[in-house]
Amino acid sequence: MNEKQGIVKYRGSRLEDRLEKLQKEPHKKSVREKADNEVTKYNNANADLDTAVNHYNALTGN
């Protein structure tokens, strides 16, 4: 579960960096697509973390 949390934090920081870069530069299609891909990866990492937490809670009875 710690690994999943680390992935979410890493994706979150990369997402913030990408979005800041996107806001500073004129909108280019490729930059926008890269930012969208980062958002997708971040959402997937959050879903994986939620699954791991739910599995852990089911095993421990929480």
- Provide the residue range defining the domain that includes 11: 2-60
- If you write DSSP's letter for every residue of the chain in order, what string do you get? -HHHHHHHHHHHHHHHHHHHHHHHSPP-HHHHHHHHHHHHHHHHHHHHHHHHHHHHHHHHT-
Q: By C-alpha distance, which of 5, 3, 33 is closest to 18?
A: 33
Residue pLDDT, tens place only, 10-57: 878 888 888 888 777 666 667 778 888 888 989 999 898 899 999 999
d(CA 44, CA 8) in angstroms, rounded, equals 9
**Residue 27: predicted pLDDT:** 62
Domain count, the chain: 1
User: Can you tell me the distance from the alpha carbon of 32 to that of 4, in angstroms, rounded to the nearest whole number?
Assistant: 26
For residue 15, the model assigns a pLDDT of 82
The pLDDT score that the predictor gives to residue 6 is 83
pLDDT of residue 32: 78
The pTM assigned to this predicted structure is: 0.51
